Amino acid sequence: MGRWSEAKVIGVATDPSSLAAARKLASPGPWSETGSNDTLVWGKCQGSGKTPYQVSVDVAAPAYRCSCPSRKFPCKHALALLLMWAREEMADGGAETAAFAEEWASQRADRTAAKEKRQSEQPADPAAQAKRLADRMSLMDAGMADFARWLTDLVRTGLAAAHTQPYAWWDGAAGRLVDAQLPGLAEQVRAMGSEVHGRADWAEHLLYRSGRWWAMTKAWSKREELAPPELADLRAALGWTTPSADVQAAEALPGPWLVLGAHRGDDGRLQQQRTWLRGPDGTVVMVLDFAAQGQALATPQLAGALLDVPIARYPGSEPRRAMFTGPISPRGLSDGLGAGCSVADALAMEAAAVSLSPWRQRHPVVFGGVRLFPGGHGWLRDGAGDALPLLDAPVASLLAQTGGHPVHLFGELEDGRVRPLSVVVDGAVVTP
């Protein structure tokens, strides 16, 4: 495995604060027992406690482990170790791998072997599978019928009454949906318990979501009439996952894939990472990764990178979720994101996508020649004067990067707002 560049190390940082903290630690002073081989980089970093933190990085996977209490992967210690390794400033402890790094690598290899063994086992008895499917469908039918009654009561008593309900009221409805094996819908209802108290536009937001939930109950009752992509979208929105083995069996699309941008989220219980990619024929896909708290998410790909890797897509309408089906081989960096569109064109594309998949919550868009402005949470305005508010945006950083000049920007269009994920500045794709 070749030595990483400093830019690649920067690209795997979860946030600017982790990277800033790592830079302060990226010097030999606090480090001991450092070393590397073809796949591993390791070392011990002295923190504020008596015992130094044990840091191991698998640069082939990539994967990270540190004995510090941080929930970030990679943490500041792993990033600092990688920065020293990339700069060739790390003391070489010799050819022998440290015991703690060797043990971690061995445990990972054992888990991978066990997973491959499970996947290679014979499938379950078809009759038993059919019975489990019938039982689940029965549970889901009952759960959707109960949810339809709950929605009817919500509308009958009025949105103002729902606004006064405690979080436990929403959580109770979500719990019944989980019991009915409808976890995706349950998560939406649970989140609404916080949103109705935290959003100024809570009434409009609740009305919109309630309408969509009601449409879900009607679509589920007529699922036999839906086209395969429509049914796949509905199932995904309700939380019915497609086995990865079924996706891997589908036709794989070759690269190179341009990394448009990525977003990481954390609701306190589950970490999520969305990575948007565009293929050579213009096909846009989203790679979705999950990890429980305390576990490592997949390493984020650098925005603007070109990846040689085959990709298989989940069923559904475009743009579809996808997964990597082979090793990722970086080809280089792109100097742009391709042609951009106006705000009016973006809204028209969103409307067309919603007409095909009304359950979709966000839409990928490359805007062309837009300027960024302060005010509220920030604004994006195109050459025609049309504007959209920004969502979850580091406005000060974006203004500093763009200098008020028109730029190409990639982001997620969600609820009439844009979440910026990458921007082209001086011929380079950078993250805000």
Q: What is the mean pLDDT of the chain?
A: 88
Residue in the structure block whose two tokens are 């440290």: 98
What kind of fold does domain 343-430 have according to CATH? OB fold (Dihydrolipoamide Acetyltransferase, E2P) (2.40.50)
Check residue 47 and give its pLDDT: 86
Q: How confident is the model at residue 119 (pLDDT cuts 50, 70, 90)?
A: low
Count Cβ atoms below 10 Å from residue 210 Cβ, excluding itself. Answer: 16
Give whole-number Cα distances, 257 to 95, 352, 410, in Å.
36, 24, 15
Count Cβ atoms below 10 Å from residue 269 Cβ, excluding itself. Answer: 8
Q: How confident is the model at residue 93 (pLDDT cuts 50, 70, 90)?
A: low
Check residue 244 and give its pLDDT: 82
More confident residue, 23 or 125: 23
Q: What's the whole-number mean pLDDT along residues 261-272?
A: 79
Q: What is the pLDDT of residues 226-241, one digit of tens each?
A: 898 999 999 999 988 8
**Neighbour-count burial of 389, counting CB atoms closer than 10 A to its CB (0-12 exposed, 13-18 middle, 19+ buried):** middle
Q: Show me where the domains of the chain are located.
A: 6-120, 126-238, 244-333, 343-430
Q: How confident is the model at residue 8 (pLDDT cuts 50, 70, 90)?
A: confident
Strand order in the sheet with 379-381: 387-389, 379-381, 363-373, 407-414, 417-425, 428-430
Count Cβ atoms below 10 Å from residue 254 Cβ, excluding itself. Answer: 13
3-state secondary structure 381-419: ECCCCCEEEECCCCHHHHHHHHCCCCEEEEEEEECCEEE
Q: What's the whole-number mean pLDDT along residues 342-357?
A: 91
Check whether 251 has a pLDDT greater than 90.
no
Q: How confident is the model at residue 379 (pLDDT cuts 50, 70, 90)?
A: very high
Q: What's the whole-number mean pLDDT along residues 379-401?
A: 92
pTM: 0.69
Q: pLDDT > 70: what percent of the chain?
A: 95
Q: Give counts: helices (H), strands (E), the chain.
A: 13, 18
Check whether 139 has a pLDDT greater than 70.
yes
Of 34, 30, 65, which Cα lies nearest the Cα of 51? 30
Q: What is the pLDDT of residues 324-333, one digit of tens each?
A: 988 888 888 8
Q: How confident is the model at residue 22 (pLDDT cuts 50, 70, 90)?
A: very high
